[in-house]
Amino acid sequence: MLETILQNVINALQWGSFYALIALGYTLVYGVLQLINFAHGDVFMVGAYIAFFVATFLLGIAGMPGWMALALTIPLTMILTSAVGVTLERIAYRPLRRKGANRLYVVITALMCGLILEHANLAVLGASRKAFPPLITETVYNVGGVTFTNLKLGVIFTAFAVFIFLHWVVTKTRVGMAMRAISYDKFAVPLMGIPMDQIIVVTFVLGSGFAGLAGLLFAMSYPVLEPYMGALIGWKAFIAAVVGGIGDIRGAFLGGFLLGAVEILVVAVFPSSYRDLFSFSVLLIILVFKPTGLFGIAKTTKI
């Protein structure tokens, strides 16, 4: 019994790591712009494909060993995926923001951007799935009957490292202070000399870069890529961010692991076809009793 529990805990930590990395991007953008970037799940998908092409080039054409290819694939994937996120902000979101468009139009635009990324991928690369090349030798460990791999440990460690880094950025740096200032009063921030557009770009760089990192780790763990791979996991990560308290980094991180734990628990007890039904039902119950999420704080609007 204890072995089974520990095995499920490790599996939940791995799944929760993917959700947490994506949810952090959602909550960063929302915390600064009050914008739900529904294209973020598809940015995760783009990151996985970017990692595929970079890794294939480094392994095949450049002839690098796997560990060296991985060491270069990680920063290149994050940089290129960040460029995708910044491009979306510059082309789609910034014009609407400057014109004072209603938030509903911005949300519709975000949904449209996600569909464009999906179908552009489908049109350019086709519907056939792609197999991600192995970059490292996967080693299986067995400790007390609990089985895990070096890749699974790497995914979990990376998620915690990203959370610690983002928490430091938001709470201890001038950029993080500017982010919090924009979320508090975006109209007064320009009067204080804070370059609002630059801070927003940094926000998209961080959020999209870590979505690309999540795409790389997911592709290494489950090496089959297809154009719609980011749709469902993106929605789940968004729900995890909402349950944790959208706009709060701690909430997004905890919400991702909570969703991963619920899914693994459901699969361990019920058929896998019930996973999404039970997962969303449990999260809905949490929101019924705590509508602001676990770490969310109700805000009042003065008229």
CA distance linking residue 10 with residue 295, whole number of Å: 24
Look up residue 137 and give its DSSP letter.
Answer: -
The residue extents of the domains of the chain are 27-224, 228-294
Stated pTM of the model: 0.90
Cβ atoms of 28 and 200 within 8 Å: the answer is no
Using CB atoms within 10 A of its CB, is residue 228 exposed (0-12), middle (13-18) or buried (19+)?
A: middle
Alpha helices in 173-221 (DSSP H): 174-184, 196-221
User: What would the pLDDT profile of 54-100 be if each residue is shown by its tens digit?
Assistant: 999 998 877 788 888 999 999 999 999 999 999 999 999 888 888 87
CA distance linking residue 176 with residue 219, whole number of Å: 30
Which residues, in sequence order, are bridge partners of residue 180? none
> What φ, ψ does residue 293 adopt, rounded to 5°?
90, 175
The low-confidence residues of the chain, meaning pLDDT below 50, are 302-303
User: What would the pLDDT profile of 206-230 be if each residue is shown by its tens digit?
Assistant: 999 999 999 999 999 998 899 999 8
